Amino acid sequence: MSSSAPSDVPPPRPSLHGFLVIDKPAGWTSHDVVARVRRLVGERRVGHAGTLDPAATGVLPLAVGTATRVLEYLAGADKTYRAEVTFGVETDSQDGDGRVVARRDASALSEAAVAALLPAFRGPLQQIPPMHSAIKVGGQRLYERAHRGEEIEREPRPVVVHRLQLLDWRPPVATLLVDCSKGTYVRALARDLGAAAGVGAFLSDLVRLRTGPFALCQALTLDALADAPLPWAWPAVAVHPDAVLPGWTALLLDDEGRTDWGAGRAIAAPAAAGRCRAYGLDGAWLGVGAADDSGRAWRPLKVVEGAA
């Protein structure tokens, strides 16, 4: 009988998949946070949905591993912010990182007057994006032109402000709760409120409280993530990729169906409509699909690794 010595080779590190809800610190770009998280979790596939300005803090959801396959379904999510708008001062970027370009006396502005401005900025709006934004015009980012001192005409974009509430008034600073659609620039909202008040304004502080299903109360700081004993603590710090698919039909597949799904073959169903999220009998997430034109089958759209 032969025996062998225990191997000193450590077990392979498990792959990590899911969403991390990060509380972005001030002064960091969204790309900075992605790069830091890649190092902390040892996973190259990390992405974010919805850039948060460097000066802003709060919810920045990051998709890790196979969660990147459904990142697009979070990109269009509504968002909620707590915003501080300072009246009487304008900056070229419309936030605190910019250069002051105008000052006006806002001492006559009252809490009632600020509250009276808000109804006009609720509901569907046509908003002109800031020059300091990542929108491309003529193949160039607007902020690249702004850094060269250029100011060009921008087309208004449709956005929706679902809720706009005055939380606090400490002259000349208004604290607002803003619940809005994808693509809304809170900096532009501050600019337009200042114009409506006749004294100018800029966004002096911004905290993102929510992106889609992810809220600030569940967010981790980068320090907390660095202290987590990964990979073993992953289930405690991450959210399943299907969290961004609320209301989608859940499709449970046996072994034969799982094989067909992994091969990209349609799954017959008595009735199929809309989109679905697929799982194996063991609970493994297999990806997402959509009803075919006949309404009698589910067609795989995104098959995650290990589905076959």
* Catalytic residue annotation: 53
What is the C-alpha to C-alpha distance for residues 203 and 96, in angstroms, rounded to an integer?
A: 6
Whether 101 and 54 have beta carbons less than 8 Å apart is answered as no
Pairing assessment for the beta strands 249-253 and 275-280 based on DSSP bridges = parallel
DSSP 8-state symbol, 12:
P
Residue 272: φ, ψ to 5°: -140, 135
Place of tokens 């070229």: 92
What is the C-alpha to C-alpha distance for residues 77 and 93, in angstroms, rounded to an integer?
A: 25
R_g of the chain computed on alpha carbons: 24
Place of tokens 């907390």: 224
Q: Is there a cis peptide before residue 54, judged by omega within 30 degrees of 0?
A: no
What is the C-alpha to C-alpha distance for residues 212 and 220, in angstroms, rounded to an integer?
A: 17
Nearest to 291 by CA among 272, 268, 264, 271: 272
